[in-house]
Amino acid sequence: MITVRRGAFETVGLFDSGIRWGQDWDMWIRIVSIYEVAILPFPVIVYRIHPTNHSYTKRRQVMESYLNISRRAIRASRPLWLRPLLLIRAWSRFAHEMALDAKENEKFRLRQIGYSLIALILYPWDKGRDKINTLIHSILGAETYKNTKRLFRSLFRARG
């Protein structure tokens, strides 16, 4: 359940109709930049992603929109010295999502490797293990990655 006072919308505005994807995210960023919010320790909504919804089929456009929303919020953030770090982190996140998209489509292996490498180099501290796995998967390919992972698991089990 989400409850927001009407006055909050009067202050920050409603959805930005110029944003195709992530309008709600942009609005929440504007709300939390002014108002105090509470974070619940449990999920209150479930978001389904399936092969026919736009968030899945238009993943690149969605991620570009999220990156633009992030950049706009970062430009407004304080302190100023933190902005470059936040921008690098946002670009790293975008690159990682693009690598995952290429991996799911099993196409564009060089693009997958490039995005994976960029994501890891730019900001390895956020989801670093996932980024390393994505890069290794990109380099080895799906089948070799799966077989290598299976081999390492059996070796570690044998050691006991």
Sorted by sequence, the CB contacts under 8 Å of residue 100 that are 6+ apart come out as 134
Provide the residue type at 90 as one letter. A
CA-based end-to-end distance of the chain? 47
Which of 30, 37, 32 has the alpha carbon at shortest distance from 12? 30
Question: For the chain, what is the largest distance between any 2 Cα atoms, rounded to a whole number of angstroms?
Answer: 63
pLDDT in tens, 104-116: 877 788 999 999 9
pLDDT in tens, 23-68: 888 888 888 888 888 777 887 777 777 777 766 667 788 888 889 8
Which of 12, 105, 122 has the alpha carbon at shortest distance from 67? 122
Query: How do the domains of the chain map onto residue ranges?
Result: 1-57, 78-160
What's the rounded Cα separation, in Å, for the pair 95 and 97?
Answer: 5
**pTM of the predicted structure, to 2 decimals:** 0.74
Which of 108, 123, 18, 126 has the alpha carbon at shortest distance from 72? 18
From residue 86, give the alpha-carbon distance in Å to each of 10, 33, 93, 120.
28, 16, 10, 15
